[in-house]
Amino acid sequence: MNLLKNIKTTARNVLQNEADALIDLIPHIGADFEACVEDILQNSGRLVVTGIGKSAIVSNKIVATLNSTGTPSLFMHAADAIHGDLGMIKEEDFVICVSKSGNTPEIKVLIPLVKQLGSKLIAIVGDETSYLGKQADYVLYAGIKEEACPNNLAPTTSTTAQMAMGDALAVCLLSARGFSAESFARFHPGGALGKKLYMRVGDVMDSSLLPIVSEDATLKDAIIEISSKRLGATAVVDPRGKLKGIITDGDLRRMLQRAADLSTIKARDIMTPKPKVIKVDDYAVSALGLMRAHNITQLVVLAAGTVVGFIHIHDLMKEGIV
C-alpha cells in the first residue's frame, strides 16, 4: 500500500509540475508572439521546424500539428542540417528552432547558416539570454523552473512546455486563417475522425432502398413495402413525393393490438405524421446526433422536400461513425 501511495503521489506531482509550468508561460505570450504570428500570416513561406534530442521529437509533433491545421511545415533534424538538409530551406521560409538551453553545439553551428540563407529564425527556447534566444528574430519563451524528473534531468516538463507553445502557435495561425471543420476534414479524410467531418447523409444511406407508400395505400401494401425493403419502416408520401408521415414496425404492432377490422385501414390512419427527417446534404454525424437525441434508429432523408431514402443506425455503424 505504501508503494502504491508513493506511485500515486509521484504521478500527481508530475502532472502538477507540468500544469504549473504551462500556467507560468501565459504571461510570456506578448508582443513578440503576436508579431511572429502576423509575420507568418503575411508571408508565403513554410515553417521548417528543427531541434536536437528530445526537442527534435517535439519538433516532429509541432510539424504534424501545423500541417494538419493548414500551415505547410516540414521537419529538419538539427544534426542533419549541416550535412545536406539545409537544401530544403527557401529564403522565404521561417525556421523554428526548438531547444531548452539554446546553447547546444548543433544549434550554434546551424543558426549562422540559417541567417545566411535569409530565412527568419523563430526560437522556442527555455532561455531568452541563450545564443539561440539572442540570435532569433522572434522568441517564443518556453522556460520552466524545473523538470518533473526528481533528478531535474530527464526532459519532461520542458518538452511539455515546448509542445504547448507549438500548439499555441498552430492554433493562432488556424484561427487567423479561418480554418474550419470542413478545412480540417480535407486534411484528415481517413478513419472515423475524417468520416465524421466530411461524410454526408447521401454518402452513407443506401439509395437503392426507398420504401414509400401513398396515403391511400392499404395495410397490406404498407406491410409488403416494409418487409421487402427490410428497413423496418416506410415513408408515406403525397402524389408529389412530399413526406406526409412514416409507418414503422411498431406502428403496425400497436395498430394490430387495437383494431378489430383491418380491411378498411389506410396508410394515413396508422402513420406517424411529421417524423424526424434529415437533408441528404447534411453531415452523417448530424444524423447520428438526431437519432441519439430522439432514441430512434432511422431517419427519413429529404432532398428539396422530397423523400429520397432512409438512413439507418446500421449505415453509420458500417462506416465507423458510431
**Mean pLDDT of the region 1-25:** 87
The pLDDT score that the predictor gives to residue 138 is 97
The pLDDT score that the predictor gives to residue 108 is 94
DSSP SS3 for 70: coil
Query: 1 versus 301: which is more confidently predicted?
Result: 301
Q: How is the chain split into domains, by residue range?
A: 2-179, 201-318
**Percentage above 90 pLDDT, the chain:** 58
Joined grid coordinates for residue 23? 500556467
| 189 has a pLDDT exceeding 60 | no
What are the pLDDT digits (tens) for 286-311? 888 899 999 988 899 999 888 998 99
Alpha-carbon distance of 122 to 168, in angstroms, equals 14
Alpha-carbon distance of 121 to 307, in angstroms, equals 58
- Fold (topology level) of 201-318: CBS-domain (3.10.580)
Expressed in angstroms, the distance from the first to the final Cα of the chain is 41
Give the helix, strand, coil percentages of the chain, each rounded to 5: 50, 20, 30
Alpha-carbon distance of 23 to 4, in angstroms, equals 29
The pLDDT score that the predictor gives to residue 84 is 82
Chosen CATH of 2-179 out of 3.40.50.300, 3.30.56.10, 3.40.50.170, 3.40.50.10490:
3.40.50.10490
Query: 186 versus 29: which is more confidently predicted?
Result: 29
Joined grid coordinates for residue 109? 553551428
User: In which band, very low, low, confident or very high, does the pLDDT at 314 lie, cut at 50, 70 and 90?
Assistant: confident
**Mean pLDDT of the region 65-84:** 90
What are the pLDDT digits (tens) for 133-159? 999 999 999 999 999 998 998 999 999
Average pLDDT taken over every residue of the chain: 89
β-pairing, 94-99 vs 120-125, is: parallel
The pLDDT score that the predictor gives to residue 188 is 58
Cell numbers 480554418: residue: 179
| 3 has a pLDDT exceeding 60 | no
Topology match between the domains 2-179 and 201-318: no
The pLDDT score that the predictor gives to residue 12 is 92
Query: 164 versus 269: which is more confidently predicted?
Result: 164
Residue 77 marked in a binding site: yes
